[in-house]
C-alpha cells in the first residue's frame, strides 16, 4: 500500500487556509500555491540520492555531497496542476516538465484525456505528478496510468488537498505510488467537490469563473 504523507507544517497550513478563503483572488491564490508547492518540494525530494564529489574551497580540497545523477520530471495535470510547477522548479531548475491534459466530465466525474506530452527520457526520471485537488481520484489515477503505459515507474503524486475518497482510489489503483498532500479534508459533496476544499482550483487560479 502506498504511503500518504500529510505535510502539515505550520507555514503550509496557514497558506492553505488563505487559499481556502473565498475572498482570496486569483493573484494571491497563484502566489500561495506557488509558495506551498516550493515548501512541499523540499520534503518530497528528501530521499534524492547523493554522491560524494571532491571540490576545492578557498581553504582546502574537500569531499562534499551533491545530488546524484537521478533526474526529475514534473508533470502537471492540466489545467490546475500548472500552478504547482514554478514553485517546484525554483528548487529543482534542471527538472524537465511534461504535461497531461485531463478534464473531469461534470456529469460522470470521469476523467477525459485531451493532451499528453512527456520528456523523451521520462521513463528514466523520477516523476512528480502534480495537481492541487485529489477529489474522486479519477484524474490522478488515470494520469498515473498514462505514465505507466509510457514505462514510467518511479512516480510520486503531489497534491494540495486530498479527499479520503481520492486517496483511497489512488492507493487501491496504484499501491506503488506515494501520495504527498498538504491537507486531508473531510469528504466529497454530491458534485464531487471537496468539503471544505477551496472550490474549483482551475477557475480560481485562472479567474475563469
Instruction: Count Cβ neighbours within 10 Å for each residue of 95-115 and write b for 16 or more, e otherwise.
Output: bbbbbbbbebeeeeeebeeee
**Cα–Cα dist 22/200, whole Å:** 11
Question: In this chain, which of 87, 119, 137, 197 binds ligand URA, going by CB under 6 A?
Answer: 197
**Cα–Cα dist 111/103, whole Å:** 6
Minimum CB distance to ligand PRP smaller for 124 or for 193: 193
112 in Cβ contact with 105 (< 8 Å): yes
Minimum CB distance to ligand URA smaller for 18 or for 91: 18
Q: Is 104 one of the annotated active-site residues of the chain? A: yes
What totals of helices (H) and strands (E) does the chain contain, helices first? Answer: 6, 15
77 contact choice in ligand URA, ligand PRP, none (CB below 5 to 8 Å, kind-dependent): ligand PRP
Question: In this chain, which of 36, 41, 135, 152 binds ligand URA, going by CB under 6 A?
Answer: 135
**Cα–Cα dist 52/62, whole Å:** 10
Phi-psi region of 95 (alpha: psi -120 to 50; beta: other; left: phi over 0): beta
87 contact choice in ligand URA, ligand PRP, none (CB below 5 to 8 Å, kind-dependent): none
Residue window 77-106: x/- pattern of binding to ligand URA, with contact defined by CB under 6 A: ---x--------------------------
Instruction: State the catalytic residue, choosing from 30, 104, 125, 204.
Output: 104
Query: Scanning the structure block, which residue is given the C-alpha cell 497550513?
Result: 13
Task: Tell me the sheet residues that pair with 156.
Answer: 128, 178
Residue window 163-192: x/- pattern of binding to ligand URA, with contact defined by CB under 6 A: -----------------------------x
Question: In this chain, which of 35, 123, 124, 200 binds ligand URA, going by CB under 6 A?
Answer: 200
- Residue 64: count of CB within 10 angstroms of its CB: 11
Q: Is 203 one of the annotated active-site residues of the chain? A: yes
Q: By the criterion CB under 6 A, which residues form the site for ligand PRP? A: 77, 79-80, 103-104, 109, 111, 131-140, 166, 192, 200-202
Residues contributing to the site for ligand URA (CB under 6 A): 80, 133, 135, 192-194, 197, 200-202
Amino acid at each position: 500500500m502506498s504511503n500518504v504523507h500529510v505535510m502539515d507544517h505550520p507555514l503550509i497550513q496557514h497558506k492553505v487556509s488563505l487559499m481556502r478563503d473565498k475572498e482570496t483572488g486569483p493573484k494571491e491564490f497563484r502566489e500561495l500555491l506557488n509558495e506551498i508547492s516550493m515548501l512541499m518540494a523540499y520534503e518530497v525530494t528528501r530521499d534524492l540520492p547523493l554522491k560524494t564529489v571532491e571540490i576545492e574551497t578557498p581553504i582546502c580540497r574537500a569531499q562534499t555531497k551533491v545530488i546524484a545523477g537521478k533526474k526529475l520530471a514534473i508533470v502537471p495535470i492540466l489545467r490546475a496542476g500548472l500552478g504547482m510547477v514554478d514553485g517546484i522548479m525554483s528548487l529543482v531548475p534542471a527538472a524537465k516538465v511534461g504535461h497531461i491534459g485531463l478534464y473531469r466530465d461534470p456529469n460522470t466525474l470521469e476523467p477525459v484525456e485531451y493532451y499528453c506530452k512527456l520528456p523523451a527520457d521520462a521513463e528514466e526520471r523520477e516523476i512528480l505528478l502534480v495537481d492541487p485537488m485529489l477529489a474522486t481520484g479519477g484524474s490522478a489515477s488515470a494520469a498515473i496510468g498514462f505514465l505507466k503505459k509510457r514505462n514510467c515507474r518511479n512516480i510520486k503524486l503531489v497534491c494540495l488537498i486530498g479527499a479520503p475518497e481520492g486517496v483511497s482510489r489512488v492507493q487501491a489503483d496504484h499501491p506503488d505510488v506515494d501520495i504527498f498532500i498538504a491537507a486531508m479534508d473531510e469528504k466529497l459533496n454530491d458534485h464531487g467537490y471537496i468539503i471544505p476544499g477551496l472550490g474549483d482550483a482551475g477557475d480560481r487560479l485562472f479567474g475563469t469563473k
